[in-house]
Structure 1
Amino acid sequence: MSEKFKEPLLEHREDEDDHAPGYSSSPKFLAQLASNLSFFSSFVIGEDDIPPIIGVPGFMSAFKAESSKLWYLAGPAIFTSIFQYSIGAITQTFAGHVGTIDLAAFSVVNNFIAGFCFGIMMGMGSALETLCGQAYGAGQMDMLGVYMQRSWVILLSTSFLLTFMYILAEPLLLLLGQTEAISRTAGKFALWMIPQLYAYAMNFPIAKFLQAQSNIMAMAWISAVALVLHVLFSWLLMLKLGNGRRRGGTERFVVVPGGGPADLHIQRGLCAILDGVLLEGISEPLGFCEIIGCIGSDALYPALFSDTSEVKQVVYELTPMLAFCIVLSNVQPALSGVAIGAGWQTLVAYVNIACYYVFGIPVGLFLGYKLKWGVQGIWWGMTSGTVVQTLVLFWIVYRTNWDKEASAAAKRIKKWEGKQVVK
């Protein structure tokens, strides 16, 4: 009996040959047969897939092999995301030491003006990510350069139209009810961030071009060098040479090939001071360590952003909420990556609008103003929108017919090549 239980679940026994003539006895065939009869019936086993796992040693061996493949790509991507995000966070940190008004002005410009424009640019750039990834997977290497050049033209034209948002930042903020002092300072800061917009137009296509070919290490090195230069210029121009708000925008343009605005998520924009402790792109285990470190050092890290006691107190009170948002941030990138890879940008845009503007914002306003929860109520409302968005995206991914999506991807590649698509 003991020998019987040592057999793997999917192992083919010789006495079954009489009952299944003509069938292969390979482990992969049996695994595929079990898959066809199981809940995940659409899964197709490939030649490079691992054989059925037998016991704990087999699991550890397969885990090691799969983890090495994952970290080969995910490792540089994680560091790239950290380096890119840190550029905006470091600028915000230095702005807090220049003055409270400067900190508030930078937060408004970075999370509203620059964040809005960056979101448009990133959304348009995600189309290139879809096309380049699918072209590379189909072996259409010659089309990668064509896609990148077309994206340059489109994004540069879009940047010209978005420039007026930076020019009209001060009256726009006043119209939205921002204070005169913050609006005036933010308007001056926004003018010095205009070149940054055009740098994004050139940077995004190059980044997607390299990412589609899994050449992520180059992006990581560029981002690392940019971050080092950014810290140096921030310290020199904003603190040592003075005139921080003007020079703060200048040094961000100098190192823009490595980074973007601090954060685009609306709920984090409400508490922009906390952005410096959230490193996007972290996996679940690292995200858990980040939560522990964030809560454990909540009495220490607020001093990095400002010397004002009021600012430190707000950061201290909102740290538990930040830890909860980090958990959501560990799930959201995976679903967003699937959506971008499948070319669902339009569908996901509708989901975002419904979850944030139809559900999240009304709930946040109700909690913040009606129930007198203040900033925490607004943030909880936006977080609830993120939860709904995550659930909806998960349901869409779960219900997707991936064979049909693969066929649609092939048609998109032929269309961009100028070939006639047979329906």
Structure 2
Amino acid sequence: MFWLVENEKQFSDLYQSDYKEAYIEVIPYSYEIHPVKTNISLVYLRPLKSKKGYILPINHNETMSLNNDYIVDLIGKYDKLYVWGKKEFLHFYLHKNIDDLSLLSPSYEMEDTRAHNFLNQQNPNNPEINKIIPVVKHYETCEKNYDNLKQYIGKQINTFYNNKMPLVFNAIERNGLQVDPNLFKKYFNQDLGNTVYTQYNYRTTTTRPSNRFGGINFAALNKENGTRKTFIPKNNKLVEIDISAYHPTLASSLIHYSFNDRDIHASFAKMYGVDYKKSKELTFKQLYGGVFDQYKHLEFFQKIQSFIDELWNNFQTKGFIECPISKYKFEKEKLEDMRPQKLFNYLLQNLETATNVIILWDIIKILKNKQTKLVLYTYDAFLLDFDITERDILEQILDVFKKHKLKTKITHGISYDF
């Protein structure tokens, strides 16, 4: 069978094959357009037992077009799919059993050709650039990607990151953020209509996700210059739930230290003999930079230091540490310039991310078929586009945080400029 499958007879031959597992790659109109807003040009399918892959065209200038419903049906026949970037793939197709190879090769860069580079340079900002790049060149890159990534197929993948992370962040991305187009043009010099979309990347060293798309860092929006006024509710108002003293709370859970339901920063202020604001600063510096000599006698920091010492010993003797909840492993051979405090920081950020994913999972279930949407997540803050007719939902969501023994505060307004 030829590698280009563009008519019903060719498709029928592929459909009738008894392949059970495949590597699959989606080629959208453009990689520069958010997956929510673009369409599919081509699909590359490489059955594992086949000697070659196949291009299934949906909309390309050089080919006939297959009905996408046929491809959905074909994908559904496979017992298992392998992709590089499950979260991204789920914007286009659903499947019950997908392994995300990017979890084993987070720094991998997808192949391209001279034709890709030349046509991209000649057609900057073309929202349908992949439709004019020769289909044979797309096939060439996909074949190379498969050859490079096949070494990871069948290897053990972290189930938490494979099964929960992609679904959670895909769901948030789909919701988008409503904007005032005039203010968006003013602050970001772009015209993207009434809705912009976030893009989370958890293929980072600590697995703490970044959130950047289209030149906008959604994880670090300026709080001082009015930028946040750009983001407005599609419903009635924006509601943000912030977790108070998040990292000290997580750290105390690791060392089994209890603040007896008191305000953590107020408790530290009393220990230090300083005011509340200074207390927050001192605690943050010591959790991330090491305990100051004058506070090493405090029980909390004695336990923190003992935990760090034991963590470092395990890292040195076993060659890795396994994080709670996510079961993610920080491996010695894959990390550079590690020190005891730095390793603890990595663990803390991973625990934060894993806890948040569980919280996000529960919130998304609560909001299913509701008008209220979860539109942004930033480490210790969760932003809702809130429908005021669904007031009971807020209590249900707050109960999720209480289940994890987390204290929260709520801010709200008619824009994100709280």
Q: Which category of TM-score, normalised to the shorter sequence, fits these structures?
A: under 0.3
TM-score under structure 2 length normalisation: 0.27
Q: Hey, which of these two has a bigger chunk of strand by percent?
A: 2
TM-score under structure 1 length normalisation: 0.26
Higher RCO, Cα 8 Å, sep 6+: 1
Q: Hey, which of these two has a bigger chunk of helix by percent?
A: 1
